[in-house]
Amino acid sequence: MATREKPQKKEVRVRAVPAVTRSIAILRLLGENKQGMGVKAIADSLGLVPSTCLHILRVLVGEELVRIDTDTKRYTLGNGMIRLAKSVLEDGGFARQAQPALDRLAATYGVTAMGVEITPRQSVVVLALSKSTQPFRLHTDVGSEFSSMVSATGRLMAAHAEDTPAQLRKKFNAIAWDKAPSFEAWKKEVDQARVRGWAIDRDNFVVGLTVVAVPLIDGAGRLRHTLVAAGLSSQLTPAAVQVMVSDMRREAQALMDLLV
């Protein structure tokens, strides 16, 4: 009996929608400029026609995603963005499920523990957070976004990527370090992360700070999230890191079981 060939899945064609693309670009730009911006500054930054920019802003203001200061005529993100973000964080399985694990890690080891998502744009976004009582210079909050390949999570991203050495070097050169390692040293740590299943950044991302990340791999074998712990390097000695990593990996496995 002849076997029937499985029909190939059609590739979804994504059509450009300029109004949507421009609206998102405006929201991202305003998110990076906390003091607000006028219509001309926004239009110039994004290469938009000022009248088109104004029409989009008026719609965003009407939806409360953007607000305007009537005195300065500057636009900033509106409260509607908070409501949207809140609904995502409250309903999102990962943030809700990760919070107890982060609280345990922060309380046990005196670290700031984070639940991180790797976005389709290959940036890193903090979705859940449990802050340490220890004073150090890592200023982050839920919703904070970091560039590709940064810190310990970046080493895991590099370990799971299929990039060539040249592509990895290009991404490495774009990382903003406090104290940059050499590419060779960083690549060695990426290779170590691939073998042992966790990664560490000691004094590179922020001098005096050690950051440890453990991956959460989805059913398709893709790196989607990490559990991250950040603390003072003087506190997180190599021996202390080993103990903490064991707990982090147990928490990550339990979390993956919940998210299946």
Query: 74: domain CATH number?
Result: 1.10.10.10
DSSP result, 145-207: EE-TT-HHHHHHHHHH----HHHHHHHHHT---SSPPPHHHHHHHHHHHHHHS-EEEESSSST
Q: Please write the tens of the pLDDT for every residue from 121-172.
A: 778 888 899 987 766 556 677 878 887 788 999 999 999 998 999 999 999 9
Q: Are residues 120 and 198 in the same domain?
A: yes
In a domain, 148, yes or no: yes
From CA 160, how far away is CA 223, in angstroms rounded? 7
The two structure tokens encoding residue 57: 């802003």
User: Quick one: average pLDDT of 214-222?
Assistant: 89
Separation CA 189–CA 27 (nearest Å): 36
Q: What is the pLDDT of residue 6?
A: 45
Q: Which residues pair with 202 in a beta bridge?
A: 210
Within a domain: residue 4?
no
Q: Residue 210 is part of a domain; what is its CATH number?
A: 3.30.450.40
Instruction: Specify the pLDDT at position 10.
Output: 52
206 lies in which domain range? Answer: 92-259
- Residues 84-110: tens digit of each pLDDT: 776 665 555 788 899 999 999 999 999
* pLDDT at residue 5 tops 80: no
pLDDT in tens, 48-87: 999 999 999 999 999 999 999 999 999 999 888 877 776 6
Residues 63 and 113 placed together within one structural domain of the fold: no
Q: Is the same domain home to 159 and 69?
A: no
What is the side-by-side strand order in the sheet with 112-118?
145-146, 124-130, 112-118, 223-232, 209-217, 199-202
pLDDT band for 17, please (50, 70, 90 cuts). confident
240 lies in some domain: yes
Amino acid letter, 208: G
Q: Which of 251, 173, 184 is nearest to 212 (CA)?
A: 251
Helix axes 183-196, 165-173, angle to 10 degrees: 110
> How do residues 34-51 score in pLDDT, each as one tens digit?
889 999 999 999 999 999
In a domain, 85, yes or no: no
The token duo for 80 is 């509607």
Say if 49 falls within a structural domain.
yes
